Amino acid sequence: MMARIPSTDLQVRLAAFNWLSEQTDIHGDVLDRALLTQGFEYRGQRVALMSPQGIFRPRQLDLPLTITTAPKGPYDDRLDSGKFLHYRYRGTDPQQSDNVGLRQLMEQSRPLIYFFGLVPSRYLAVWPVYIVGDRPQDLTFEVAVEDIEAVKLAADDQPAVAEDAEPRRVYVTSLARTRLHQRSFRERVIEAYRSTCALCRLRHRELLDAAHIVPDSEGAGVPTVPNGLSLCKLHHAAFDNFMLGISPDFEIIVREDVLQEADGPMLLHGLQELHRRRIILPKAEYDWPSRDALAWRYDRYLSQIP
């Protein structure tokens, strides 16, 4: 069976999707809450995308446009089990108005946006998503991520949802889940280091990466803050390519051939002057780099030295 979406409602939703695409092109796919709360302008009206409520309907629409999972919120929104994501009801009453709104979205096959809170005030934006299941026994909805091109078809008055959508949605949802875990690791590591490179103190968040100490290809390479370092692009590349190592005592050791090289101020100030300095540590000791992980990595650094 196929479903159609009212044209005005769909146009607002597509305008929101287009605006998010523009913002993620500028800022990346993790966005600040202030930006989302302000929203965008549509035909002379301001359309907000977020409020303190997890299920949000802007005044221009009759049904919700976004759902949000807070980074440390009261609801257990499950991301790792089953084919699709799970979003908790608001409260415990299935007939609460926001829950009814999501149920109507499911019945009418209307797309919406999912904001995943990674750290305070930072959200991964995923769109379009659909409510594809209602589990009142668990007080949850099932949420599938869709290919944006499938929604754009509806803008030309084509059917919005086809019967064979599920296999595609399972695949696209799995990709979104992987992206969520990757972005979550990055945001939590950079937050722990107060948006600073642990080696050079660079404070431009857009130039920072979360580097694994033990790579995620290894069994011990878990995506936790103690297995991560906040590094700028230069020092992430140097760390990954064993141009420098970090000892279990948090000391930076620059490879000898790099120390002896003469190649201008970038090499001098960017790498050579770091030799024997200590890295910058997170404020909370439980976020400090694991000494065991550093020892594992430092042994591999030493093994790469000719």
Closest CA to 172 of 77, 108, 111, 84: 84
Q: Which residue ranges make up each domain of the chain?
A: 7-189, 198-303
- Ordered mean pLDDT values, 10 residues apiece, the chain (306 residues): 66 95 94 96 95 93 95 57 88 94 94 95 96 94 90 57 76 92 94 97 94 89 93 97 97 94 83 95 97 97 86
Of the CA atoms within 13 Å of residue 237, those in its CB half-sphere come to: 5
Contact at 8 Å (CB) between 32 and 119?
Answer: no
Q: Provide the total of helices (H) and of strands (E) in the chain, helices listed first.
A: 9, 13
Give the pLDDT of residue 165: 81
Cβ-Cβ contacts under 8 Å for 13 (sequence gap 6 or more): 5, 65, 110, 111, 112, 128, 151
Give the pLDDT of residue 77: 53
Give the pLDDT of residue 1: 42
